[in-house]
Amino acid sequence: MLPFKLVYSEKYYLPIGEHIFRADKYRLIRELLLRQHVADESDFLLPQPASQADVLLVHSPLHISKLMEGSLSPREELEMEVPYSPRLVDAFLLHSGGSVLAAEQALKDQVCINVGGGFHHAFPDHGEGFCMLHDFAIAIRSLQKRGLISRAMTVDCDVHQGNGTAAIFGTAAHGPNVLPSWSGSPGAPQQDGMTNGPGNDVFTISLHQENNYPVVKPASSIDVNLPDGCGDVEYLAWLDNALSSGLRQFAPELICYVAGADPFCEDQLGGLDLTIEGLKRRDELVFRAARAHDVPVMVTLAGGYANRVQDTVAIHANTVLAAAEVYQPAPGAAHTA
């Protein structure tokens, strides 16, 4: 049994047909976790769809009515890059409810993983890049509305920049921090150009491949624009730097970690060069930083388009393993009844 919960529903499957986005990955991750005895049935919580009131904390009434009525324009549907159907709307509502549940549960257990979600390209008024609704923005706003948290941080390690997240939450009050462009000194991230100052109520960090979708990258509180082919060592150094910098500037009550599997070297939509082992170390680094600062962390999965789907599934399952290792109760810790 894991020392935290996983959120999953068989209805997380996205009915998008033959697609580079393997929507069966959620089921395959759950099966792998059970088969390898990393998790058992009792570790899983079943989500409910996000309420319309919660969805409207992030999205415009017009966007929602278009989704509910099926009245997206052909251009809007094209931009979403997934075929519209009412069933697809239901699936995104369920992933969003899963992120709300995972955020609530993280406040209780220090960590919770939604085996879904991470739809960071959804904007308040439109969807794009396989994302219809911004699940973890909905979760943050829902918890804030109920007074459960006031300040949150997003840590987005998908290979693609979190443009929807940045558009929804804006940047720190003192302006964006763009980590300096790649200087050719691997492993030695620079501090030049960093500005310090309190953020607004949500501090956004995105580490991504600069030369990739989205072309237009609205400013996050910290954007780390990585060069093509960036490998494990350099990536982990930049992540460490961004986390330290973010947590120096801002004290969140919840971290939303977007654990994209697409920085993997064999990803079809990514141009970074991380190994499966490097990606697990990435997860450990985020969990260790959150734990060291005593900040609960909820996880969403986001993208993953490896040549072999079993690699995408292994990378996501490793995120659960990494959390289990970091959040393992200390040996000899008393068990409470």
- Interface with Zn ion by CB under 5 A: which residues? 158, 160, 260, 262, 303
Give the three-state DSSP class for 207: strand
The nearest distance, CB 152 to Zn ion, in angstroms, is 21
The nearest distance, CB 58 to Zn ion, in angstroms, is 20
The nearest distance, CB 216 to Zn ion, in angstroms, is 16
The nearest distance, CB 170 to Zn ion, in angstroms, is 22
The nearest distance, CB 21 to Zn ion, in angstroms, is 10
Which of 43/262 has CB closer to Zn ion?
A: 262
Which of 263/296 has CB closer to Zn ion?
A: 263
Which of 158/273 has CB closer to Zn ion?
A: 158
Which of 72/272 has CB closer to Zn ion?
A: 272
Which of 12/305 has CB closer to Zn ion?
A: 305
One-letter amino acid for residue 132 of the chain:
M
Give the three-state DSSP class for 280: helix
* Bridge partners (DSSP) listed for residue 306: 267
Q: What's the alpha-carbon Rg for the chain, to the nearest Å?
A: 18
Compute the distance between CA of residue 71 and CA of residue 314 in angstroms, rounded to an integer: 38
Q: Which helix (H) or strand (E) element contains residue 258?
A: strand 254-258
Burial class, 68, CB count within 10 angstroms (exposed 0-12 / middle 13-18 / buried 19+): exposed
Contacts of 274 (CB under 8 A, 6+ apart): 230, 231, 232, 235, 263, 264, 265, 282
Give the three-state DSSP class for 12: helix
What dihedral do alpha carbons 130, 72, 140, 161 form, nearest 10°?
40
Both tokens of residue 104? Answer: 């609530």
The nearest distance, CB 121 to Zn ion, in angstroms, is 8
Closest residue by beta carbon to Zn ion: 303
Which of 63/160 has CB closer to Zn ion?
A: 160
